[in-house]
C-alpha cells in the first residue's frame, strides 16, 4: 500500500468516526430554536448539521454539512480579540475590557468595578474590542478585521450583506451597550457607530465548519495557520485568546462547558461553534437551533460526545510521556556521560533529562557531560532554561560540557 493510500485510509477512518458521532447526536438531540431576533437568521435550515476538524499539521476531516455556509456571528469575537491584542498588546486591551466570566447572558449590561465590560466575548466587551482595532474610520476598521479573520481562515471571507443590514436595523441593544461603554470611557472610538457598524459586519462574515476548524487550528498552532504557514497573530496573543475562550466562551454556560467538554470554545447565534485542543487541532461545528443560552444545541452535544469519546478534555491525562532521552551512554575511559535528546522538549521532558543526567553523572563520577540535541525537533523556553541551568551547574562543578546540535546561542552565558 502506497503512502497516499495509507493517508486516505487513515483520513477515511477519522471521517467515519466523526460521521458516527454526528449521526448519534442527530438522532438523539432534538429541540432548540433558530435565532430570530436578527430576522435574516430565522431562515436558516434547522436540520443543517456538520462538523470539521483541522490538525495543526494541516490535515482536515469532516462529516455532515461541511459545505454549508453560515454567518460567523459571535464566533468572530476570539479572533478579533486576538488581532487587537496582537496590534496593541494585551495590557492596552485590558485597560478597557476585563477577562472575568460574567455569568450573564451574551447581551447583558455587565461592567466591572473599573467600568469595563467583564470580558471580550459578551457583546459589550466585543464591541469595545472591535473599537480598539486601529483605523481612520468604520470602513477601514472593518476592512482590517475582515483581512485578519480571512487570514485565520486561510481564504478571503465574504460578507452577507442581507444579514449585515438585518443586524444593523435591529441592533438597538448593541448600540445601547456601545453608548454605555462610551459613557464610562471604555469605548475606543469617539462615537458609537464607528464601533458598532464594523461589529455588525464582522458578525456577518460567511464561514463553513472547515473555516472555523482552520481558524481554531491557527490558535492551537500558536497563531500560525497550519496550511498557509502565515503567522496571523503572535504566540502570546493566541495563548491569551485560548485562556479567555476556556473561561468565558460559552457565556453563562461556560462553567458547565469547562466541566463537560474541557476545550476552549466560542459559539455564535448563527449555529456555529469553534473549539480548540491547544497544540493539536481546531473543531468547527454547525447546527442552527440554539439552547436557552444562545449556544447551538446539537453543536454542544456533538462536542460533548467528541470530548468524551476521544478523551479531548483538557484535564484528561492518560498518556505516559515518552522519554526525551533516546540513548544514554558512558565512556568509561574518559568518564563522559552522553544523553542523546529527542523529539519535543517541554518542561516535563527537560525535567526528566535533567534527572537522568544527574543520576548518571553521580553514578560514574563523570568528568564530562554531552547533551546531544541532534534529534530534538522543538525546545520550549522553560525547557531551554532548565537545560542551560543544568549545564551551568555541571561546569561549575568542574565538568566539561558540550552541546552538539544545540539551538544557536544555547551556550551563551554558560562557562
Report the Cα–Cα distance between both ends of the chain, in Å, rounded.
53
Annotation says 251 is catalytic = yes
C-alpha of 6 from chain center:
29
Q: Which of 269, 285, 376, 401 is catalytic?
A: 269
Phi, psi of 296 (to 5 degrees): -60, 120
Spell out a b/e string for 97-127, using b for 16 or more CB atoms within 10 Å of the CB, else e.
bbbebbeeebbbebbeeeebbbbbbbbbbbb
| Among 77, 102, 267, 287, the one annotated catalytic | 77
Residue 266 falls in the annotated catalytic set: no
Active-site residue, 382 included: no
Look at residue 54 and give its three-state secondary structure.
Answer: strand
Q: Where are the beta strands (DSSP E) in 13-91?
A: 50-55, 60-64, 70-71
SS (H, E, C) 227-244: CCCCECCCHHHHHHHHHH
Chain center to CA of 4: 29
The sign one gets for the Cα dihedral 52, 53, 57, 59 is: negative
Residue of 52, 55, 74, 204 marked active site: 74
The burial class, CB within 10 Å (0-12 / 13-18 / 19+), for 313 is middle
Neighbours of 55 (CB within 10 A): 18
Active site residue 74: yes
Selected catalytic residue, list 251, 266, 267, 354: 251
Q: Is 234 a catalytic residue?
A: no
Q: Is 308 exposed, middle or buried (0-12, 13-18, 19+ CB in 10 A)?
A: middle
Please provide residue 282's backbone torsions phi and psi, each rounded to the nearest 5 degrees: -115, 155
- Which cell numbers in the block locate residue 393? 551547574
Q: Please name which of 234, 228, 294, 224 lies closest in space to residue 86, comparing C-alpha atoms.
A: 234
Q: Under a CB-based contact definition with an 8 Å cutoff, are residues 255 and 127 in contact?
A: no
Active-site residue, from 199, 266, 286, 337: 199
Q: Helices 138-153 and 123-132: crossing angle, nearest 10°?
A: 100
By annotation, the residues acting in catalysis are: 74, 77, 199, 251, 269
Amino acid at each position: 500500500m502506497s503512502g497516499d493510500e495509507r493517508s486516505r485510509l487513515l483520513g477515511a477512518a477519522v471521517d467515519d468516526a466523526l460521521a458516527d458521532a454526528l449521526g448519534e447526536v442527530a438522532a438523539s438531540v432534538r429541540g432548540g430554536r433558530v435565532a430570530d431576533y436578527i430576522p435574516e437568521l430565522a431562515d436558516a435550515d434547522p436540520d443543517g448539521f456538520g462538523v470539521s476538524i483541522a490538525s495543526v499539521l494541516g490535515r482536515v476531516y469532516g462529516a455532515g454539512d461541511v459545505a454549508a455556509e453560515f454567518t460567523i456571528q459571535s464566533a468572530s469575537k476570539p479572533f478579533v480579540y486576538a488581532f487587537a491584542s496582537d496590534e496593541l498588546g494585551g495590557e492596552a486591551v485590558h485597560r478597557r475590557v476585563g477577562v472575568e466570566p460574567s455569568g450573564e447572558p451574551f447581551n447583558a449590561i455587565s461592567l466591572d468595578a473599573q467600568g469595563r465590560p467583564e470580558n471580550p466575548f459578551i457583546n459589550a466587551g466585543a464591541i469595545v474590542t472591535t473599537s480598539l482595532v486601529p483605523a481612520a474610520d468604520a470602513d477601514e476598521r472593518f476592512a482590517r478585521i475582515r483581512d485578519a479573520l480571512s487570514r485565520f481562515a486561510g481564504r478571503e471571507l465574504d460578507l452577507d450583506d442581507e444579514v449585515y443590514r438585518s443586524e444593523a436595523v435591529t441592533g438597538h441593544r448593541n448600540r445601547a451597550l456601545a453608548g454605555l461603554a462610551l459613557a464610562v470611557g471604555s469605548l475606543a472610538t469617539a462615537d458609537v457607530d464607528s464601533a458598532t457598524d464594523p461589529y455588525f459586519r464582522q458578525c456577518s462574515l460567511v464561514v463553513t465548519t472547515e473555516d472555523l476548524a482552520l481558524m481554531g487550528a491557527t490558535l492551537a498552532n500558536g497563531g500560525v495557520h497550519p496550511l498557509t504557514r502565515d503567522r496571523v497573530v503572535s504566540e502570546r496573543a493566541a495563548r491569551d485568546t485560548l485562556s479567555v475562550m476556556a473561561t468565558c466562551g460559552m457565556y453563562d454556560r461556560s462553567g458547565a462547558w469547562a466541566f463537560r467538554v474541557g476545550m476552549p470554545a466560542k459559539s455564535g447565534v448563527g449555529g456555529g461553534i469553534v473549539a480548540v485542543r491547544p497544540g493539536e487541532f481546531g473543531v468547527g461545528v454547525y447546527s442552527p437551533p440554539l439552547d436557552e443560552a444562545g449556544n447551538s444545541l446539537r453543536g454542544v452535544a456533538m462536542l460533548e460526545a467528541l470530548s468524551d469519546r476521544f478523551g479531548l478534555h483538557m484535564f484528561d491525562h492518560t498518556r505516559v510521556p515518552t522519554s526525551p532521552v533516546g540513548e544514554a551512554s558512558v565512556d568509561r575511559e574518559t568518564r563522559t556521560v552522553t544523553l542523546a535528546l529527542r523529539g519535543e522538549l517541554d518542561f516535563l521532558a527537560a525535567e526528566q533529562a535533567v534527572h537522568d543526567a544527574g543520576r548518571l553523572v553521580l553514578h560514574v563520577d563523570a568528568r564530562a557531560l554531552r547533551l546531544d540535541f541532534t534529534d530534538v525537533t522543538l525546545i520550549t523556553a522553560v525547557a531551554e532554561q532548565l537545560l542551560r541551568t543544568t549545564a551551568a551547574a555541571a561546569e561549575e562543578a568542574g565538568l566539561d560540557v558540550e552541546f552538539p546540535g544545540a539551538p544557536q546561542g544555547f551556550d551563551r552565558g554558560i562557562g
